[in-house]
Amino acid sequence: MQKFVVHINYKVPFEDVLKFVQSHREFLQLGYDDGQILMSGPRNPKDGGIVICKSESLETLENFFNNDPYKLNNVADYKFFEFEPVKYQPFLKDWIL
């Protein structure tokens, strides 16, 4: 599995994003439930968010995020950065490997 940082940038003022936050978090829960997402949260200042996740491929990950309410409502753009964890806390071993 490849590891990624997903960098979400809001395209509209945060006040316009607020109406989609709950559905976005419910969407992300699907990734938590299947073990794909390790953590997520808004950046400060609130101009976007970060998601740490793993996926079979970049294409699979992009397809997953194409269903995010932020994307579907055109309030955010996404950048995907693949990385290779070489050091990590021991409790993450099962998720990393």
pTM: 0.94
- In the sheet with 48-55, reading across from the earlier edge strand, the strands are 37-42, 48-55, 2-10, 76-83
Residue 8's domain comprises 2-96
pLDDT digits (tens, 9 = 90+) for 63-97: 999 999 999 999 999 999 999 999 999 999 999 98
31 vs 27: CA distance, rounded Å? 8
CA distance 11 to 13: 7
| CATH value at residue 27 | 3.30.70.1060
Q: How many residues does the chain have?
A: 97
Domain count, the chain: 1
